[in-house]
Amino acid sequence: GENVEQHPSTLSVQEGDSAVIKCTYSDSASNYFPWYKQELGKGPQLIIDIRSNVGEKKDQRIAVTLNKTAKHFSLHITETQPEDSAVYFCAASRRDTDKLIFGTGTRLQVFP
Amino acid sequence: EAGVAQSPRYKIIEKRQSVAFWCNPISGHATLYWYQQILGQGPKLLIQFQNNGVVDDSQLPKDRFSAERLKGVDSTLKIQPAKLEDSAVYLCASSSLSGRAREQFFGPGTRLTVL
């Protein structure tokens, strides 16, 4: 069935460093890949997304890359700040459905 | 614009009891989702509505879970009877059929503890 694997499960970085989270999906029909940030006690919030017709997308300090051949996509956060500390989830969905398949999450800690 | 509202925020019940959660989506959003998020895992879709019709309920444990979305706006999710393994955060999300149609907006969730 559909599956999304996410690594690492935890990531600790110093403020100002970069952080990279990687995901792999199994369904070759997937064409939409959002990333969500979830802070303690809150629901997930969309931070960036990418569709299968592009290979990279940037939004200020956040970028996402997609390799359709390898079925990999990654989140890159540059110049990390303490407020970036949260759990990040990748997800994937197919063209014919809005059903999101989520990864298992990465807990990012940014130390001052 | 108001976000997705959910209540209650927390609920503690004993196994075999029943419980209901309520969700009010963003105004005008036709699609509504209920997810189950077990501690340490990503959200898992339980049921998806478009207006007041069910689009996908393939992962809803129908022997104990039920959901409805009367009038295509608010929705309720019910568990009867609850089991220990139902302890989780239940998230409601909504999305629009127009514009960025696939962006899902999540509510704060209801944390359920089954003792």
pLDDT in tens, A43-102: 999 999 999 888 999 999 999 999 999 999 999 999 999 999 999 999 999 877 778 999
Contact B56 A97 (CB under 8 A): yes
> Average pLDDT of B6-19?
97
| Range B61-68 average pLDDT | 96
Q: How far is CA A15 from the centre of its chain?
A: 19
| pLDDT at position B63 over 80 | yes
Phi-psi region of B103 (alpha: psi -120 to 50; beta: other; left: phi over 0): beta
Q: Quick one: average pLDDT of B23-41?
A: 94
Q: What is the pLDDT of residue A94?
A: 86
In degrees and rounded to multiples of 5, residue B86 shows phi and psi of -80, -5
pLDDT of residue A107: 98
Closest by Cβ to B43, choosing from A41, A97, A102: A102
**Nearest CA to CA, how far is A41 from chain B (Å)?**
7
| B92 neighbors B23 (Cβ within 8 angstroms) | yes
Question: Bridge partners of A80?
Answer: none
> Mean of the per-residue pLDDT values for chain B?
93
Are the C-beta atoms of residues B32 and B69 closer than 8 Å to each other?
Answer: yes
**Under an 8 A CB cutoff, do B109 and A97 touch?**
no
Q: CA A12 to CA A4: how far, in whole Å?
A: 22
Question: Beta-carbon neighbour count of residue A27 at 10 Å?
Answer: 15
**Nearest chain A Cα distance for residue B105, angstroms:** 7
What pLDDT score was predicted for residue B1?
65
In this prediction, residue B100 has a pLDDT band, given cuts at 50, 70 and 90, of low
Mean pLDDT value of segment B16-37? 95
Please report the DSSP string for B12-26 in residue order. Answer: EE-TT--EEEEEE--
Q: B45 vs A99: CB contact, 8 Å cut-off?
A: yes
Which two tokens mark A112?
């001052």
Give A97's contacts in chain B (Cβ within 8 Å): 56
What residue type is B32 in one-letter code? Answer: L
Minimal Cα–Cα distance from B47 to chain A, Å?
A: 9
Better-scored residue on pLDDT, B30 or A80: A80
Contacts of B48 in chain A (CB under 8 A): 98-99
Tokens 């390799």, located at residue: A67
Substitution target from A98, A99, A104, A107 for chain B, most B beta carbons within 10 A: A98
Of all residues in chain B, the one with the smallest CA distance to A107 is B40
CA A77 – CA A14 distance, rounded (Å): 12
